[in-house]
Structure 1
């Protein structure tokens, strides 16, 4: 406090009111002090800037920090607060310049490097961001810096380095549920469900109501078709965050897995109401309506999902299935071709062949079936036995087309 303040007998009281979170009384005292000192108490201006920034009044707080900096030009704290305000305004280039100025005053402050790294991250200057976060950690290790550095590695799709960063962070802070959850989610993204489950479970041991960990754990359990156990996890989240679109999406698909289609649609529509621009919700609504033979509704939802995310090949496959069920074979074929142009998946070839066979286009159906067979034969035995529906379709098509 003494580094920031000009001598005033009430600075201690000002500081006490601020840390006790009594902003109104604090502001009253600040105005009194500033009036008496003709606005020349840098500490009072500094505290007022912090209060205004916490209320979202960024431009006003920036003016106060700049004035405090003029009153106390050798205070690195003032310079850091100016940089922070510029960052919050989205003026990241100016913020970086201010943090460079702060480093001249204090070259071994981890916070300066950390926030400089945040600025570079927002500007998508990945290498500079990593250099700043590494420099921050060399000075002083902080969970927040490890989290940001891991996030930058993940953005680069360097998942091994991201995992190594989070594991190093856990050595420093082994009981941080946020770190454990983030690491679990990263393993889940890499389809290493066993490791994901382990770290998410550790996170829940430390924080039983951690919503991210509960949602991810529920998803893993749901993938194993244990829908009742997954719903128990989701019930805990619903008690704390009932307006989560992802939660209701997952609940909806649990009910779908239990063949409770009316409940599934109700939950998915609630999820869509909460987040109308989330493509996976529209996609799942399409799946449920397709399974209940509501083909027009299914077409509508798959079309919406594609509008929101045109890069998911399976959406085009299911759109084609809805179109073929509505009798529009030409557009169905176009949708299948679009799906195959994005990904040559055995399931797309199989359904394409089935649609062509149903419409009497046997020659083209045989071509698609042979391509399906070529990819399917390369799968391991466990994958082949995984989906009985695929095996049944394969058997029926093989018999209908007269091929092995």
Structure 2
């Protein structure tokens, strides 16, 4: 039986097949992509700095900035810039200024660096130096609204109102912003041009009709001019967009209070009290509402709270003196009126009320001095001269009384000629007629009795000036009443001015 032998095929034994290329090398070639260009090391972490800064993660941001500056030997402009911004937010203005100056050295053609240097100088109160840097920045970027606006603000603070107006107008031509409108309106108000200020705020309201600050300010300006309908309209619009806007609430309430609607005004003030319970103007107005309702103890309580919150507000002291004078507490009235005079020594009515208090305290000598000062300072209120005439007549000086009576006639005629909207209190008219009879004046003032439409209310103005000035806690209305003198030796009672100052917040 033959056995099978396993013999290799010679061709198979000698043949060597070629090896396939390794798979790993092919895959590596396929996966290989163009290498991304590396950013310069100076700018390597800028994106990360920016991310942490806009997220307000300032601690982490400062750590990254420190590492970046160490790597670049302090040559990374963006890192220095952001660090300066953080320092400014922390209130370290001088240090931020130095860093912004470093940025300006590293990149002198960048307008933003110069703007930030100017901003830091402005915050340090160096307005003239800030103006120089803003002008340098303007050379690099002429169409920058921010530069024009800030130049106007800087000129505003150095009281160069003409240039301030010029640059603010340039800013509005470049780009309209609420802030620029507001600042331009302030410039016109400080220069005494109320009409231009109103026009500016009207344009601002057209541009931004839902801005409650602009609406409230415009309402207050119309209130200043006695245009109550327009004032109420704009204040109402402000309250429509923001029912809790305490400035508009306080202004609307004071306007109602001026017209004698004390209960409606008090309802407004209750809403405002929730927002600003520690507002001196609010408590002053509440006090004068109680005064108008003849609740004198409550009035004094509210006025003393306003005085506690704002001890240097002369109007609160004025009102306290007035209430005490009405209550025949003449020593207390003298105390508060003297304090008001120390804070505002240029107001004639204050000296007149002080003279009334001194008269009732039987200090005729000092009362005479107070009246003389009052007639020297006051140029429009005939009540000052009438009271002085009564005082002189009661003390036997008929010649001096006649001179003061004639001066009163002159002021009354000026008031009538200037406007037909003035209303004279009936008590003031009766007292003037009695004074004329006592002095035997043949050609006395022809007093026109007010008609039904213009008849004075108990709290309306005796000489109501529709253009009464507005400002910080400025009066929005005036009222007159009598605080008769009870000295038996005095033949004619003194007509005392009642000027319950309804105050609002500063429109500036």
State the TM-score, normalized to the length of structure 2: 0.73
In structure 2, the CA distance between the partners of 1:372 and 1:21, relative to structure 1 (3 Å rule), is same
Q: SS of the counterpart of 1:103? A: helix
- The aligned residue for residue 237 of structure 1 is 272
Q: 1:219-238 to 2 correspondence within 5 Å?
A: 219-238=254-273
Query: How big is each residue's C-alpha offset from its partner over 1:85-129, in whole Å with a ceiling of 9 and x where there is no partner?
Result: 101111111101100110111111010011111111111111111
Partner Cα distance (1:111, 1:382) in 2? 45
Greater Rg over alpha carbons, structure: 2
Between 1:169-178 and 1:363-372, the stretch displaced more is 363-372
- Corresponding residue number in structure 2 for 1:92: 127
2:502 paired residue number: none
Residue-by-residue CA offset, 1:16-52 (whole Å, 9 max, x unaligned): 3323333333333333333333333222222222222
- Give the deviation of 1:308 after TM superposition: 0.9
Give distance in 2, aligned partners of 1:298 and 1:88.
44
State the Cα deviation string for residues 195-248 of structure 1 (Å, max 9, x = none). Answer: 222212211111222222222111111101111211222222221222222222
Aligned to 1:387: 425
Equivalent residues in 2 for 1:1-400 (5 A)?
8-344=43-379, 345-373=381-409, 375-376=411-412, 379=416, 383-384=422-423, 387-394=425-432, 397=435
Distance 2:193 2:295 in 1: 41
CA gap of 1:374–1:130, structure 2 versus 1, over 3 A, is: closer
Structure 2 alignment gaps of length 5 or more: 1-39, 445-508
1:24–1:307 distance in 2 versus 1, CA, 3 Å: same
Where 1:124 maps in the other structure, the secondary structure is: coil
**Which protein has the bigger helix share?**
1
Q: Which has the higher contact order (CA 8 A, sep 6+)?
A: 2
Contact kept, 8 Å, 1:6 with 1:42, in 2: the verdict is: no
- Cα distance in 1, alignment partners of residues 261 and 352 from structure 2: 27
Secondary structure, aligned partner of 2:43:
coil
Higher alpha-carbon deviation: 63-72 or 357-366: 357-366
TM (normalized to structure 1)? 0.91
- Taking the aligned partners of 2:59 and 2:322, their CA distance within structure 1 comes to 54
CA distance, structure 1, for counterparts of residue 80 and residue 228 of structure 2: 52
How big is the shift at 1:368? Answer: 3.1
| Contact 1:6–1:41, Cα closer than 8 Å, also in 2 | no
Provide the rounded CA distance (Å) in 2 between the counterparts of 1:89 and 1:78: 17
Q: Give, in whole Å, the separation in 2 of the partners of 1:52 and 1:100.
A: 25
Residues in 2 aligned to 1:355 and 1:280: alpha-carbon distance in whole angstroms: 26
Q: For 1:247 and 1:66, locate their aligned partners in 2 and report how far apart those are by CA, in whole Å.
A: 46
**CA offsets, 1:177-205, max 9 Å, x none?**
11111111222223333222221221111
Q: CA RMSD in A?
A: 2.4
Alignment: residue pair count:
399
**Residues 303-333 of structure 1 deviation map (CA, whole Å, 9 limit, x = unaligned):** 1111111121111111111111111122212
**Compared CA separation, residues 270 and 36, structure 1 to 2 (3 A):** farther
Listed as ranges, the gaps of 5+ residues in structure 1 are: none
Change (3 A) 1:27 1:232: farther
Q: Distance in 2 between matches of 1:39 and 1:274?
A: 51
Deviates more, 1:187-196 or 1:371-380: 371-380
Between 102-111 and 177-186, the greater mean CA deviation after superposition: 177-186
Q: Distance in 2 between matches of 1:68 and 1:330?
A: 71
CA offset digits 1:113-160 (Å, max 9, x no partner): 111111111111111111111111111111111111111111111111
Distance in 1, matches of 2:318 and 2:288, equals 11
Q: In 2, are the aligned partners of 1:65 and 1:82 still within 8 Å (CA)?
A: yes
Check the 8 A contact 2:283/2:306 in 1, yes or no: yes
Contact 1:118 1:129 in 2 (8 A): yes
